[in-house]
Structure 1
Amino acid sequence: MDPGTVLEELAQVAQQIQDQMQDAWQQPVLDGPVLNSMAGGLLQALALFNQSLLADPGRLMQAQAKLWEGYAQLWQHSLAALAGQTPPAGAVADRRFRGTDWQLPAFDLIRQCYLLTGQWLLEQVTGVGDLDPATRRKLTFYTRQFADALSPSNFVATNPEVLRATVESGGQNLLHGLRHMLEDMQRGGGRLDPRMTDPGAFEVGVNIAATPGKVVFQNGLMQLIQYTPVTDQVYRRPLLVVPPWINKFYVMDLQPKNSLVGWWVEQGYTVFMISWVNPGPELAGKSFEDYMIEGPLAALDAIEQACGEREVNAVGYCIGGTLLLSTLAYMAATGDERIKSATTFASLLDFTEPGDLGVFIDEDQISALEGKMAQTGYLDSADMATAFNLLRANDLIWSFFVNNYLLGKDPAPFDLLFWNADATRMPAAMHSFYLRNMYLHNRLREPGGITLAGVPIDLSKIAVPCYFVATVEDHIAPWRSVHAGALLPGGKTRFVLSGSGHIAGIINPPAAHKYQHWTCDSLPTNPEEWRTAAQEHAGSWWPDWKFWLGRRAGGKVMARMPGTGGLPAIEDAPGSYVRMTSHKE
């Protein structure tokens, strides 16, 4: 294709994108109270920050002098490099600048100027001493977003890899990129929704979420999957898994090589998995206690019918773990002893320090969100996805902006990102309760602070042994906050810290030989004391948990086939609820 034709097509696609954007701005979803509330909160935080700077002009002058000194040093290093001298070591390696072209003198100078300026901006926010923690967190978060957006890797003229691709392809990369952008805007109904993976590479129930089993029970909120055993004998106590309903359960059942469900079955467990419905407006009134009653409590009744066993061990992931421990506190108050141990993966019980998600939590933002949910009956999956993606903007936003739109490449197949894009909605009543009682007021940790089904609950009344797993790089459930929650139950508790983050640190099969984990036989109340006393081990934490749970799993019995007990099979796993999509086609 000649350059003139490329330019003509670029102009045509750009006009189509402009038309999509004009239509999008007329949609109320982009002009709602939530964005106004977020903007208002940010402006208020900036005003407080400016007042603090003006109150101490000497500090501002020192900061500016330090910045210019840094620029002068960079300039000297660049001149030395042009003269053939070896410059001193540059900034810490950053995946945005890993290509060899970034080492060329001009682009190295651009890169280092950007990193220096971005670090300087963050230091100004974190270095102000008279800001309250909430304002400081908000300013730090949005300053980081601002700095990430202005990275030279995000622009054609300052990204050497993009410039090289543009020259070599005659601009075809930019044309392909604009076409990708147009497709993403059309799929998102005017909202830019970059593809993170090849959607055609995976199919639920075929090559992902494909561990054999049967749906043996269902109600309006969930289906219960019983997986097919692969051993002749199984542990007597079944394993009930309560996944998050912010995303779908199959993060624990991706492909055979990294399926936690498959690993459980191989260890000899009868696994029952809750698969939550993807709610629409008809479920707007479903509450947190409804999730308890129609979720784990209903599952316990179904498990007894399916295999005749009352006693189970239970696992909860993220908000599923929060629900599991809330349910255990309810059961302790009502004399129900069917759950004999509880394990949580990256779950919060104490929300004193909620991490970067706290930037979205205040009265104004929650009230605005409630107003929006009142119109639809649910929180749209795209809103939730945007919030989580902003927590790792370079990995989950800007890397795809560069790959898909500037380089014009198709995203690579990746099971975890396929799952991440398969988001779910949140019922309005449940989500409002969760945000207010957990995040905003932190009532779950208080004895009697929350009432479920008419029963005030107290986490300290939980007497069963608990196993808490946190991850060291978790931005959603910070490990110190998970540690604080692990101190709340009244039974014997084991706390384990895994390497990596909220997903990769949990879904880490031993055969991968990745990351590390830390264990300690005691549980000091200070997380730093625990970290000092803990012993580091290479690889996955799964074997440690296998030993812990195996001592509580009961003796071996003959394997139980799904659908052959008291509950007949309804359909094959993974069931129909997990196939409910939130995407607009």
Structure 2
Amino acid sequence: MQNQPARPAQAKAPAPVKAPPRAEAGADASPYAGIDRKLRGAFARATGGVSPFGIAETWAAWTNHLARAPGRQLELAAHARDSALQLMDFAARSGLGQAPEAPFAPKPFDHRFADAGWAEPPFRLWQQGFLAVQDWWDQATAGIPGLSRHEAERARFLARQTLDTVSPSNFAWMNPEILAETARTGGRNLVEGAAQAAEDMREALHPGAMPRPAGCEPGKDIACTKGEVVYRNDIFELLQYAPQTPGVHSEPVLIVPAWIMKYYILDLSPHNSLINYLVGQGFTVFAISWCNPSAEQKDLSLEDYRLRGVMTALEAVGAIMPGRRIHACGYCLGGTMLAIAAATMARDNDDRLASVTLMAAQVDFSEAGELMLFLDESQIAFLEDLMWEQGYLDRQQMAGAFASIRAEDLIYTRAVRRYCLGRDEMPTDIGVWNADTTRMPARMHSEYLRSLFLENRLSAGRFAVEGRVIALKDITVPMFVIGTETDHIAPWKSVYKTRLFTDGDLTFVLTSGGHNGGIVSEPGHLHRHYRISHRPAGALYVDPDSWLAGTPPRQGSWWPDWSGWLAAKSSGRSDPPAFGAPDRGYPPLEPAPGRHIHQR
């Protein structure tokens, strides 16, 4: 890795934060703790990082509470009886040649039964039987007296995961689409599926060994907006993009992506690159490209990512464009980190920010979606044991957790399509990015899960930076906050809570799509809509349901509204800046997208 250039005093970077080792509690502080942690780490590897103790606790709580609710038991028995009668009526009428309406329907995100063959006997009976059982479990894991909402939702999730393994769509002899394709191709689909299964197995055993698809090479086909690396340390590279207009808005834009992903979700192909769009609108754009940490970086902390990441990037941008305030934009976890940095800056009377934009980013984690179903003390301790041994949370372990949230579509439908139908996936820019996951340093990930997800310290007023608590309400610069309608990682009502914990000027946007698709929503993208409203500083709070009812949708992309908002918060136009600032210690190092993007 290239060494940092020396800097004069006024541009001196903060000294690297050396986080002390995390103190272990209880028995882990003894000389024999290493033995236990090695055993627990091996156990965690064997289970893929999933705590069986947390699962056992959930089922024990559900069973015990249901056992002492005989009225609820009778209700569930009646529900099972009614479902059975509906199925019998459906089967009888179908057998007589009628076309009765199916009593049970798949969930909106479940595409396993989309093929027309599922409307024919006997496949429709198998489908309806499966959906009836799924419906019963949805009822059985809701409304149990004394069972907490979290435990009920977790039991429902676990039941759904178990049922998904025995869905009739998973078995070739029960899936009409597979049978029809096998008959049509003479079994070639199964041969091609076996080859694709072997290819996926090789990639799983040797991550990064498979070449990227043709036409999707970072730096050439995607992540190809022209620019330069103008700063590099062990945590990130700072990219500065080349101007595309004669004059630029005076205030630059700094993008802080999530460290859980590569930054180029915001710089995909030229037509759907948010970075390329911003540059084309006359903004000087800088972006952080986080490293893909190795085991040697296991002690990187949240404070490292704030101080030697976000704050160091702000310092570099300030040196390259001196005297300018900065529009800061954070995506997903990068937005959470930006909110922490902005609140800290406000506390310390640091006025370098012109505005803050948060994209699908949460500042409160009390309603953080289905990811919370994975997190309790047992699960986090299990992950800590796993990370203690290998130094990081591996990308396959993390990707599996995200995929399991929508296992119907992201795991089983994909497996049937690839391994049974023999259909190779057409490479896409977002598909290549999605497969290019990153690792999480052990200490940082543990701190993030505990302090933010599990203990929700940020919105509760218990998150301390440099030994002093910060408050989101101290942020007074204008804010632009985006939530996405079908986001299962950062649900929009959770993102909306930024309005609850801040008092300043705030514009909120709710856009169609999910966590990634709602953000990558360029002008001209078909079937897109969004809602937008402005809350002036000091206005009263409006709950999300009332806001939704009172805010009509608009057709198209939210990008032009954001670009116009940034322009309105800027102070005019000026000549484009040069790349870097060699006289201040920030010379251009190499063309964008730099080196960190290629770490696998």
TM-score over 0.5 for the pair? yes
* Native 8 Å contact 1:351 1:439 kept in 2: yes
Counterpart pick for 2:222 among 202, 205, 208: 208
**1:44 maps to amino acid:** E
**Does 1:546 pair with 2:546?**
no
Counterparts of 1:475 and 1:341 in 2: how far apart (Å)? Answer: 27
* Native 8 Å contact 2:44 2:383 kept in 1: no
**1:124 maps to amino acid:** A
Superposed displacement of residue 366, structure 1: 1.0
Superposed displacement of residue 235, structure 1: 0.2
* Native 8 Å contact 1:234 1:269 kept in 2: yes
What is residue 560 of structure 1 aligned with on the other side?
577
**Does 1:282 pair with 2:299?**
no
1:312-339 per-residue CA deviation (whole Å, 9 max, x = no partner) reads 1010000000010100111112221101
* Native 8 Å contact 2:483 2:509 kept in 1: yes
**Does 1:511 pair with 2:524?**
yes
What is residue 115 of structure 1 aligned with on the other side?
131
Superposed displacement of residue 31, structure 1: 5.0
What is residue 319 of structure 1 aligned with on the other side?
333
**Does 1:411 pair with 2:425?**
yes
Change (3 A) 1:512 1:123: same
Change (3 A) 1:117 1:294: same
Counterparts of 2:401 and 2:102 in 1: how far apart (Å)? Answer: 36
Change (3 A) 1:110 1:343: same
What is residue 528 of structure 1 aligned with on the other side?
545
**Does 1:575 pair with 2:594?**
yes
Q: What TM-score do you get using the length of structure 2 for normalisation?
A: 0.87
Provide the identity percentage.
38
Counterparts of 1:564 and 1:62 in 2: how far apart (Å)? Answer: 72
**Count of aligned positions:** 553
Superposed displacement of residue 260, structure 1: 0.6
Superposed displacement of residue 408, structure 1: 2.1
What is residue 40 of structure 1 aligned with on the other side?
53
Change (3 A) 1:514 1:553: farther
Counterparts of 2:105 and 2:438 in 1: how far apart (Å)? Answer: 37
**Does 1:229 pair with 2:253?**
no
Counterparts of 2:67 and 2:119 in 1: how far apart (Å)? Answer: 39
**2:170 maps to amino acid:** N
What is residue 101 of structure 1 aligned with on the other side?
117
- The farther-off stretch of 243-252 and 450-459 is 450-459
What is residue 346 of structure 2 aligned with on the other side?
332
Change (3 A) 1:33 1:159: closer
Counterparts of 2:567 and 2:42 in 1: how far apart (Å)? Answer: 50
Counterparts of 1:238 and 1:198 in 2: how far apart (Å)? Answer: 33
**Does 1:298 pair with 2:312?**
yes
Superposed displacement of residue 162, structure 1: 0.8
Counterpart pick for 1:501 among 514, 517, 520: 514
Matches within 5 A, 1:62-81: 62-81=75-94
**1:440 maps to amino acid:** L
- Partner SS, residue 310 of structure 1: coil
- Partner SS, residue 134 of structure 1: helix
Counterparts of 2:54 and 2:397 in 1: how far apart (Å)? Answer: 18
* Native 8 Å contact 1:197 1:417 kept in 2: no
Change (3 A) 1:37 1:273: closer
Change (3 A) 1:240 1:372: same
Change (3 A) 1:180 1:417: same
**1:568 maps to amino acid:** P
Counterparts of 1:451 and 1:52 in 2: how far apart (Å)? Answer: 39
**1:537 maps to amino acid:** R
Give RMSD over aligned pairs.
2.5
Superposed displacement of residue 578, structure 1: 0.7
1:364-402 per-residue CA deviation (whole Å, 9 max, x = no partner) reads 111121122111221111111111111121222112210
**2:243 maps to amino acid:** P
Change (3 A) 1:30 1:198: farther
Runs of 5+ unmatched residues, structure 2: 1-38
**Does 1:367 pair with 2:411?**
no
Change (3 A) 1:27 1:524: closer
Change (3 A) 1:120 1:467: same
**1:43 maps to amino acid:** A
What is residue 453 of structure 1 aligned with on the other side?
466
Counterpart pick for 1:156 among 168, 172, 177: 172
**1:140 maps to amino acid:** R
Superposed displacement of residue 561, structure 1: 4.1
**1:569 maps to amino acid:** P
- Partner SS, residue 460 of structure 2: coil
Counterparts of 2:526 and 2:362 in 1: how far apart (Å)? Answer: 27
* Native 8 Å contact 1:33 1:371 kept in 2: no
**2:131 maps to amino acid:** L
Superposed displacement of residue 309, structure 1: 4.1
**Does 1:258 pair with 2:277?**
no
Superposed displacement of residue 404, structure 1: 1.3
Counterparts of 1:188 and 1:432 in 2: how far apart (Å)? Answer: 25
Counterparts of 1:282 and 1:195 in 2: how far apart (Å)? Answer: 21
Counterparts of 2:443 and 2:214 in 1: how far apart (Å)? Answer: 35
Superposed displacement of residue 200, structure 1: 4.1
Counterparts of 2:241 and 2:521 in 1: how far apart (Å)? Answer: 21
Change (3 A) 1:138 1:27: closer
**Does 1:438 pair with 2:461?**
no
**2:519 maps to amino acid:** I
- The farther-off stretch of 51-60 and 215-224 is 51-60
Counterparts of 2:224 and 2:454 in 1: how far apart (Å)? Answer: 38
What is residue 9 of structure 1 aligned with on the other side?
none
* Native 8 Å contact 1:516 1:536 kept in 2: yes
Change (3 A) 1:92 1:538: farther
* Native 8 Å contact 2:488 2:514 kept in 1: yes
Change (3 A) 1:403 1:34: closer
- The farther-off stretch of 515-524 and 236-245 is 515-524
- The farther-off stretch of 465-474 and 531-540 is 531-540
- Partner SS, residue 530 of structure 2: strand
What is residue 13 of structure 1 aligned with on the other side?
none
What is residue 488 of structure 2 aligned with on the other side?
475
1:275-326 per-residue CA deviation (whole Å, 9 max, x = no partner) reads 0011112211111111111112111221122233431101000000001010
What is residue 283 of structure 2 aligned with on the other side?
269
- The farther-off stretch of 196-205 and 549-558 is 196-205
Counterpart pick for 2:416 among 393, 397, 402: 402
Q: What TM-score do you get using the length of structure 1 for normalisation?
A: 0.89
* Native 8 Å contact 2:249 2:283 kept in 1: yes
